[in-house]
């Protein structure tokens, strides 16, 4: 049986994934400039990946008997490309921190499927973080 604490953490993860998927998609639409076409495509691709994460986490939470949230975390809108990517990099850092805690908690509860799900998502989040960090370095 999954603890209430783990279910709350899963809902926090869903809220964050929905938040960034909307935020990144909005940025994809709103980023302008000749040299921003590749960034826009990367934001769109990442937004779609984040929505898939939300779906996977929601399915797991439902299987475990929880009620997955439909409410995103607070969405932040900025207008300058560098501010967008900085904001996104920090969002990925927060997700990485949360997902490591979820992995630890799932391991404590011997919930190996949830642990494996978040290990896979954590790998994606680290990749997203690396993309955003690299963009800021150029």
What confidence score (pLDDT) does residue 38 get? 83
Residue with tokens 């990367």: 42
Query: What are the CB-based long-range contacts (under 8 Å, 24+) for 103-111?
Result: 105/3, 105/5, 105/6, 105/9, 106/6, 109/2, 109/3, 109/6, 111/2, 111/6, 111/64
Residue with tokens 């921190």: 97
Tens-digit pLDDT profile for the chain (138 aa)? 578 999 999 999 999 999 999 999 999 999 987 778 889 999 999 999 999 999 999 999 999 999 999 999 999 999 899 999 999 999 999 999 999 999 999 999 999 999 999 999 999 999 999 999 999 986
Domains of the chain: 4-137 (1.20.1260.10)
Report the candidate in 44, 14, 11 with the shortest Cα–Cα distance to residue 27.
Answer: 44
Length of the chain: 138
What confidence score (pLDDT) does residue 1 get? 55
């Amino acid at each position: 049986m999954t603890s209430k604490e783990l279910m709350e953490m899963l809902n926090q993860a869903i809220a964050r994934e929905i938040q960034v998927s909307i935020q990144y998609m909005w940025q994809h639409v709103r980023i302008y400039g000749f040299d921003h076409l590749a960034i826009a495509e990367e934001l769109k691709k990442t937004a779609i990946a984040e929505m898939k994460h939300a779906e996977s986490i929601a399915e797991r939470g439902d299987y475990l008997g929880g009620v997955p949230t439909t409410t995103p975390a607070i969405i932040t809108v900025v207008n300058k490309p560098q501010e967008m990517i900085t904001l996104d990099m920090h969002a990925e850092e927060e997700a990485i921190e949360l997902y490591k805690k979820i992995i630890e908690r799932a391991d404590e509860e011997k919930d190996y499927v949830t642990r494996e799900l978040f290990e896979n998502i954590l790998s994606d989040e680290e990749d997203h973080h690396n993309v955003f960090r690299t963009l800021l370095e150029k």
